[in-house]
Chains A and B, each alone.
Chain A
Amino acid sequence: MLVAKMMKEWTEKYRPKSLSQVVGNEGAIRAMKRWADLWSKGKPKKKAITLRGVPGSGKTSSALALANDYGWDVVEMNASDHRNAASIRRVAGAGSLGQTFTDDGEFLTTAEGRRKLIVIDEADNLFGREDYGGAKAIAETIRQSNQPIILIVNDYYALTRKASAVKTLADKADFHKLGDKTVISVLAEICAREDMEVDEHVLRLIARNAAGDLRGAINDLQMLVEGRTSLAEVDTAALGKRNQETELEAALDMMFAAETVKDARNATLDIDRTPEELILWVEENIPREFKSPEEMAAAFDALSRSDIYLRRTRMLQHYGLWSYAKELMTSGVSLARTSPRRHPPSRYGFPSYLIMMSRSRSIRGSRAALSSKLSPLLHSSAKRIGSSVLPFLSTLARNDPQLLARMGAEADFDEGDIAFLLGTDPGSEEVTNVMALMKKIKSGDIMPDGDRPAKDRADLSRSLADF
């Protein structure tokens, strides 16, 4: 649980003690305070708050600082602890019902406003693939809790997909990426307190490299200056890229800014991406780069020609064609520019196609699993079932849970299959009901084609046989 640190980490040493010391994200901090203030008037309706945001934006620090400000004890469930439904119930569940003994052995009572804050870090990342129970246990804990709870997530959707109740049970506060200036000011402050002379441009470099991840920036700083008293120059290679995207963004910038065909092509030469991936980035960012409709149309035209070559490459498995595709998506696109480039975008966007694909990954996964399960039963290919049978099954299932349970008993559906057909969460009540029904059918309590118990049917057949 606790590992000895050879040297105290600066991210721990300089963790803010109070919310007033937390940098940036004023909106989120205000939301947290509003929520915490409600607790001074008794149990609020929303007993939990979800802190959402990218790594290193200050979620955990804010949670701990809040507890400190309000005189609350903290029970923290870290990613490093073994966490599943049972341990959430044992620690967060049990802890949230009762009063508190702190680690120092002080007794705190809510009658005096001394509460216990339960912090579940990386709540989107608790559970094994099979275990839907973990998210459910979190929702259940919030529902029953007598104490404040903070959930910390990178990916809100990953949590609410498994426990949609969290959406209504918990308040929200959004943490955004910190600006380079903010990161630099924190780094400078740490250098001053460590009595360390570090050149401003080194700090700027570290900050830019960290791309808004303050924890990453502080770790990088500590690694670079450990054991020295000053630092004027720095080997950036030692840092490594915190964020590969920044490298790609720089290349895109060079490509769009290129004045010659050669410059545009060379801009992306060092980028470790296939043309298939690069085209998505270019596509996403053409509208950010070109404002006039004519330019945009010309750019997309070049891109579409590039796409033809990508398809030919795939069809013919002739990768020599990639070079034409690449040429068209870089130089071709940059040729679309007819007027000088006045307003380069401040930030390039991540391909939304990839975002959508990753969001729908689990849904596509369940569809594939269900299709291949049905394939042998329906004497049809999984592909065909996926495209033309599942929509009908889904409609049937939604209108008749009985029928769904009977199909399920036959084809051995699991929670995921049923949730997919019903279009709900695997942990939802509907799914649980159907699963229960399925179990009954399988064990023979209910015959598949009616509610009649098996015993009656046996009587019936015997009487028929008597004839």
Chain B
Amino acid sequence: MFQARARAEILKEVVNVVSTLVDEAKFTVNADGLTLRAVDPAHIAMVDLSLAKDAFEEFKADESEIGIDIDKLGQFLKLARGDDLVDLKHDEEKRKLKIVVGDITRHMSLIDTTGMSDPKVPNLELPATVTVRSDDLLQGIRASETVSDHIALVASPDGFEMSCEGDMDQVHWKKAKKDLGVLETPSAVRSLFPLEYFSNMLKSVSSGSAVTMHLGSDYPVRMEFKIASDKGEVRYLLAPRIESND
């Protein structure tokens, strides 16, 4: 059983976060709230999202799984303004999700969740931690987008740097330690990532929030940030690009 009411902007945030990586997703609901974990089709990124029941205006649920076509949900939510209230109800028998926005009711067919994967979040040793405002990061990304399709994230004891080297041009974005919320790293670490993924992930962070990144050398990055006015959490994992010849 699942029945909830939420402000549209919160659901839109969730859709933004998830649609970055997958078209279809399995949400798990229980009495405490809603969670989702998924790996993207190219197997290079993962999302782990949780939304506490306080993020909703009303929330009632037993443990169950709901398979949703994310694009479809996103399209429908476009009909709602940010502070509109959206009602959700899971019809287990007909395998549909009933969504009400104002005067509109949509019965949305759900996706069968048997056979959909259930990834665990891997336990990775990532020695460096850095916290940056999302708007700052986005500026660095924007500067890089025309230069190359991959970006290096470098954390060292004195600062954090994003650098992008194309065939012709190079772009460096750098912040010294004093300008960063948190910067902890025993030594310098560097990993290279696909720019498009990194940028799409950042674009789902709401403006003005802080993003915490955990990094290693030639190792994945774990990005953590809050959604739904701190009542939800997102962790993105992105695998590094293979640089060496092995």
Contacts and interface: CB of A to CB of B under 8 A. Distances in A.
Contact of A101 (B194, B237, B246): B237
A108 B246 CA distance: 13
Contacts of A42: 245-246
B116 A94 contact: no
Interface stretch (B35-43, B54-62, B156-164, B205-213): B35-43
Contacts of A90: 41-42
Given A98-B242, A102-B39, A3 B112 contact: yes
A105 B24 CA distance: 17
Given A94-B44, A98-B239, A105 B37 contact: yes
B115 A4 contact: yes
Contacts of B119: 101-105
A351 to B, nearest CB: 43
Nearest to B237: A101
Contacts of A99: 44, 220, 239-242
Given A42-B245, A107-B239, A110-B246, A95 B115 contact: no
Contacts of B245: 42-43
A73 B43 contact: yes
Interface stretch (B10-18, B120-128, B139-147, B180-188): B120-128
Contact of B44 (A3, A4, A98, A103): A98
Contacts of A98: 42, 44, 193-194, 239-242
Contacts, number: 98
B246 A111 contact: yes
A63 to B, nearest CB: 16
Nearest to A77: B41
A2 interface: yes
A335 to B, nearest CB: 61
A111 B122 contact: no
A107 B124 contact: yes
Interface string A107-118: 101110000100
A107 B122 contact: yes
A226 interface: no
B76 interface: no
Nearest to B124: A107
Nearest to B45: A101
Nearest to A97: B241
B220 to A, nearest CB: 6
B46 interface: yes
A123 interface: no
Nearest to B119: A105
Contacts of B41: 75, 90-91, 95
Given A42-B245, A111-B246, A100 B112 contact: no
Interface in B165-204: 193-194, 196-197
A235 to B, nearest CB: 34
A99 B194 CA distance: 11
Nearest to A146: B242
A4 B112 CA distance: 7
A91 B244 CA distance: 21
Contacts of A2: 112, 114-116
A1 interface: yes
Given A2-B115, A4-B114, A107-B220, A102 B43 contact: yes
A94 B197 contact: yes
Interface in A1-19: 1-4
A6 to B, nearest CB: 11
A363 to B, nearest CB: 36
B218 A111 contact: yes
Nearest to B196: A94
Interface of B: 24, 37, 39, 41-46, 112, 114-122, 124, 193-194, 196-197, 218-220, 237, 239-242, 244-246
26 contacts: A1-B24, A73-B43, A91-B41, A94-B42, A94-B196, A95-B41, A95-B42, A97-B242, A98-B42, A98-B44, A98-B241, A99-B240, A99-B242, A100-B44, A101-B239, A103-B43, A103-B117, A104-B120, A105-B119, A105-B121, A106-B120, A107-B122, A107-B220, A110-B246, A111-B244, A146-B242
